[in-house]
C-alpha cells in the first residue's frame, strides 16, 4: 500500500472487522474509516453486500451509488461463513481486530461460532457491536428493515401531508440514526477499553434508536401522555414554523421566539399582529395557528420567495426556499462547506465532522466485490 494511502487521523491503527451490510452498520464503519480506522469489509463471495444490487443510479465505477455512499475507506475480504475454512478465517480476523460490527439476525453468529461470548474469549479487548432491528430478545425474529421500523416505531404516524396519510421519510433515516448511535457506542467502549483493557458488547437497535430520535414527540408521550399525530409541515409546539406560499413559490418560516415573530410581522407590513393577544406569545400562536396562517398567506403573497428570504433573513427571521438535492449541494458549496470530496477520482459526499488537528481522510474508494481467491487479511 502506498504511503499516501496509509491511514492518519484519531483512529489510525484501529482495526475494524466489518461483518455488517446494507446501511446502518456500513455507515458506522465508514465514519470510523474516515477517521483513520483500518476497516476490513467482509462479504460473501459472489454476491456481497445487498446494496451492490440496489440501483440505478450507478456511479462512474459501475457500482451502485447506494453501496458506494457508505463503503469508502474499506478494504475487501471475501469470506464464506458457510464453510469451516471461512469460519477459520473469520476467527483469525476477530482475534486481531479492535472492533467488530455485525447486523446478522440475532443468534446467527452464535451458531457459526462467532457470537460475542466466543469472540470475547478469542480477544478479551474486542469491542463487539451488534445492530438489530428490534433487539435480541422477544423481537429477535422481526426483520430489521428501515421502512418497517418507521411504520412500527411511530415515525410514519407523525409524518405525512394530513391525518390519514402516514408517509415514510424520504431517506432511510432510522438506519442512519442507528449507525450514528452505533458509532457513539463503539467510541465509548473504546474509551472504556483504554482505561481497563477490557472490551464489551455494544448493542443498538433500530427501534430504540428511533424512539430516542423522536425527541420532543416521544418525550411528550412519556412525560405527559400526549400521543402526537400528523399535522403536515406544521410543528406541534411552535408557530409559525412551516411552509408558506409566496408570489411565486413556497418558503419555510422557522420562527422560534416572540422577538423573531415581531420582526416577521413588521417586515411583512402588519406589525400590529405582534400585539394581538392571539399571537403575542408562542403558546397562543400555536392555539390560534389557523387564524395566524390565514393572515400570513395573504401578507406573503405580496412578494417572491427569494425577496422574502433576503428581507426576512436580514431581520434575523429564519426563512428559506425548499431546495432539491442539487440546490442543497450548491448552497453548501457557496457557504464554503466543501460537501464533496474526491476518492481516487470519484466524487463522494464529504465526512460531516471537521477536526482541526486530525481531519477525516479519503484513502480508499468503495471496494469491488472480492472473490474467494482474494488475498487474506493482513494488518497494516
Strand partners, 18: 41, 101
Rounded to an integer, what distance in angstroms lies between the CA atom of residue 194 and that of residue 188? 10
Cell reading at 15:
482495526
Residues in the chain: 380
Burial class (CB in 10 A: 0-12, 13-18, 19+), 312: buried
> Which residues, other chains included, contact 105 with Cβ-Cβ below 8 Å and sequence gap of 6+?
140, 141
Residues involved in catalysis: 175
User: Residue 322 to residues 166, 306, 331, 340: CA-CA distances in angstroms?
Assistant: 21, 11, 12, 21
Helical segments of the chain, H only: 24-34, 65-68, 84-96, 108-111, 116-122, 146-152, 173-196, 206-213, 215-224, 258-268, 282-287, 289-300, 305-314, 325-334
Amino acid at each position: 500500500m502506498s504511503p499516501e494511502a496509509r491511514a492518519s487521523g484519531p483512529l489510525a491503527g484501529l482495526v475494524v472487522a466489518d461483518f455488517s451490510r446494507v446501511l446502518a452498520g456500513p455507515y458506522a464503519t465508514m465514519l470510523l474509516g474516515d477517521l483513520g480506522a483500518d476497516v476490513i469489509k467482509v462479504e460473501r463471495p459472489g454476491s456481497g453486500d445487498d446494496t451492490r444490487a440496489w440501483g440505478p443510479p450507478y456511479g462512474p465505477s459501475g457500482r451502485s451509488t447506494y453501496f458506494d455512499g457508505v463503503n469508502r475507506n474499506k478494504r475487501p475480504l471475501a469470506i464464506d461463513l458457510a464453510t469451516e475454512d471461512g469460519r477459520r478465517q473469520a476467527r483469525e480476523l476477530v482475534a486481531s481486530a479492535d472492533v467488530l460490527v455485525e447486523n446478522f439476525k440475532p443468534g446467527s453468529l452464535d451458531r457459526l461460532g462467532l457470537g460475542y461470548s466466543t469472540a470475547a474469549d478469542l480477544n478479551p479487548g474486542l469491542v463487539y457491536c451488534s445492530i438489530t432491528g428490534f433487539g435480541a430478545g422477544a423481537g429477535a425474529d422481526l426483520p430489521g428493515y428501515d421502512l418497517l421500523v418507521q411504520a412500527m416505531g411511530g415515525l410514519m404516524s407523525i409524518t405525512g401531508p394530513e391525518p390519514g396519510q402516514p408517509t415514510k421519510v424520504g431517506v432511510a433515516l432510522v438506519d442512519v440514526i442507528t449507525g450514528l448511535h452505533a458509532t457513539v457506542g463503539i467510541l465509548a467502549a473504546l474509551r472504556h477499553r483504554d482505561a481497563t483493557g477490557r472490551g464489551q458488547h455494544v448493542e443498538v437497535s433500530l427501534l430504540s434508536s428511533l424512539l430516542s430520535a423522536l425527541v420532543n414527540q416521544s418525550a411528550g408521550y412519556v412525560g405527559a401522555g400526549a400521543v402526537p399525530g400528523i399535522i403536515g409541515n406544521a410543528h406541534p409546539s411552535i408557530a409559525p414554523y412551516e411552509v408558506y406560499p409566496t408570489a411565486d413559490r413556497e418558503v419555510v418560516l422557522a420562527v422560534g421566539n416572540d422577538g423573531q415573530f415581531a420582526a416577521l410581522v413588521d417586515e411583512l407590513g402588519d406589525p400590529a399582529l405582534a400585539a394581538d393577544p392571539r399571537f403575542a406569545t408562542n403558546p397562543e400562536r400555536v392555539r390560534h395557528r389557523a387564524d395566524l396562517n390565514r393572515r400570513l398567506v395573504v401578507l406573503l403573497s405580496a412578494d417572491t420567495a427569494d425577496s422574502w428570504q433576503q428581507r426576512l433573513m436580514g431581520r434575523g427571521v429564519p426563512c428559506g426556499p425548499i431546495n432539491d438535492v442539487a440546490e442543497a449541494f450548491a448552497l453548501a458549496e457557496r457557504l464554503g462547506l466543501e460537501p464533496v470530496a474526491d476518492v481516487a477520482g470519484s466524487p463522494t459526499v464529504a465526512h460531516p465532522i471537521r477536526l482541526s488537528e486530525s481531519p477525516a481522510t479519503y484513502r480508499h474508494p468503495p471496494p469491488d466485490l472480492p472473490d474467494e481467491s482474494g488475498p487474506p487479511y493482513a494488518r497494516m
